[in-house]
Structure 1
Amino acid sequence: MLIERVVNNNVVFSRDAEGQEIIVSGRGISFNKKVGLEIDPDRVEKIFVTKDFENDSRMEAILKEIPIDYFEISNSIISFAEESLNKKLHESIYLSLSDHIYTTVSRFKEGLCLKNPMLWDIKRFYPEEFKVGKEALAIIYKKLAISLPIDEAGFISLHLVNASMDEDLETVYELTNLMQEISNIVKYHFQMDFDMESIYYHRFVTHLKFFALRLTTNKKAAANNESELLEIIKCKYINAYACVEKISEYLQNNYHYTVSDDEKLYLTIHIERLIYKTELD
Structure 2
Amino acid sequence: MRIKKILNNNAFITRNENHQEIIVIGKAIAYGKHFNDEIDENKIYKTFEPVSKGDRKLILDMINDIPVSFFQIAKRIVDKANQDSKIRLTDSVYIALTDHISSSVDRAKEGLFLTNQFLWEIRSYYPKEYDLGMWAIKLIEQECQVKLPEDEAGFIAIHIISGELGNRLDDFREVIKFIKKVTSIVTYQMSIDVDKESLDYNRFVTHLKFFWQYMMYKNEKKSIGDLSNDMLKIIKGKRIEAYECSLKIKEFIKQTYNYELNNEDLLYMTIHIARITENSEEN
**Aligned letter for 1:279?**
E
Call closer, same or farther: CA 1:264–1:73 in 2, change over 3 Å: same
Call closer, same or farther: CA 1:8–1:175 in 2, change over 3 Å: farther
Who is 2:175 aligned against? Answer: 175
Identity of aligned residues (%): 36
Q: For 1:44 and 1:116, locate their aligned partners in 2 and report how far apart those are by CA, in whole Å.
A: 34
Who is 1:258 aligned against? Answer: 260
Displacement of 1:142 in angstroms is 0.5
Q: Deviations over 1:97-134 (max 9, x none)?
A: 10121223334444442222221221122212211110
Displacement of 1:204 in angstroms is 1.4
Q: For 1:76 and 1:176, locate their aligned partners in 2 and report how far apart those are by CA, in whole Å.
A: 27
Residue 48 of structure 2 aligns to a residue whose secondary structure is strand
Residue 162 of structure 1 aligns to a residue whose secondary structure is helix
Displacement of 1:255 in angstroms is 3.0
Q: Deviations over 1:9-54 (max 9, x none)?
A: 2111112345332111111122233333332334322222134886
Q: For 2:215 and 2:69, locate their aligned partners in 1 and report how far apart those are by CA, in whole Å.
A: 39
Q: Is the 8 A contact 1:84 1:132 kept in 2?
A: no
Residue 181 of structure 2 aligns to a residue whose secondary structure is helix
Who is 1:276 aligned against? Answer: 278
Who is 2:60 aligned against? Answer: 60
Q: Return the TM-score normalized by structure 1.
A: 0.83
- Which among 234, 241, 247 is matched to residue 243 of structure 2? 241
Who is 1:139 aligned against? Answer: 139
Q: Is the 8 A contact 1:53 1:92 kept in 2?
A: no
Who is 1:120 aligned against? Answer: 120
Q: For 2:177 and 2:35, locate their aligned partners in 1 and report how far apart those are by CA, in whole Å.
A: 48
The number of residue pairs the alignment matches comes to: 274
Displacement of 1:236 in angstroms is 4.5
Q: For 2:58 and 2:87, locate their aligned partners in 1 and report how far apart those are by CA, in whole Å.
A: 27
Call closer, same or farther: CA 1:14–1:179 in 2, change over 3 Å: same
Q: Is the 8 A contact 1:25 1:47 kept in 2?
A: yes
Q: For 1:88 and 1:73, locate their aligned partners in 2 and report how far apart those are by CA, in whole Å.
A: 17
Pairwise CA RMSD: 2.9
Q: For 2:148 and 2:119, locate their aligned partners in 1 and report how far apart those are by CA, in whole Å.
A: 14
For structure 2, the 5+ residue unaligned runs are 223-230
Displacement of 1:152 in angstroms is 1.4
Who is 1:73 aligned against? Answer: 73
Q: For 1:220 and 1:131, locate their aligned partners in 2 and report how far apart those are by CA, in whole Å.
A: 26
Call closer, same or farther: CA 1:133–1:52 in 2, change over 3 Å: farther
Q: Does 2:187 match 1:187?
A: yes
**Aligned letter for 2:133?**
G
Who is 2:32 aligned against? Answer: 32
Q: For 1:90 and 1:52, locate their aligned partners in 2 and report how far apart those are by CA, in whole Å.
A: 13
Residue 92 of structure 1 aligns to a residue whose secondary structure is helix
Residue 47 of structure 2 aligns to a residue whose secondary structure is strand
Who is 1:225 aligned against? Answer: none
Q: Deviations over 1:148-200 (max 9, x none)?
A: 21111122122223334544333233223322322232223334333344332
Q: For 1:185 and 1:279, locate their aligned partners in 2 and report how far apart those are by CA, in whole Å.
A: 17
Q: Which moved more, 1:59-68 or 1:130-139?
A: 59-68
Displacement of 1:57 in angstroms is 2.1
For structure 1, the 5+ residue unaligned runs are 223-228
Call closer, same or farther: CA 1:53–1:110 in 2, change over 3 Å: farther
Q: For 1:159 and 1:18, locate their aligned partners in 2 and report how far apart those are by CA, in whole Å.
A: 31
Q: For 1:133 and 1:66, locate their aligned partners in 2 and report how far apart those are by CA, in whole Å.
A: 21
**Aligned letter for 1:145?**
Q
Q: Is the 8 A contact 2:10 2:30 kept in 1?
A: yes
Displacement of 1:211 in angstroms is 1.0
Q: Is the 8 A contact 1:129 1:160 kept in 2?
A: yes
Q: For 2:118 and 2:47, locate their aligned partners in 1 and report how far apart those are by CA, in whole Å.
A: 33
Q: Does 2:25 match 1:9?
A: no
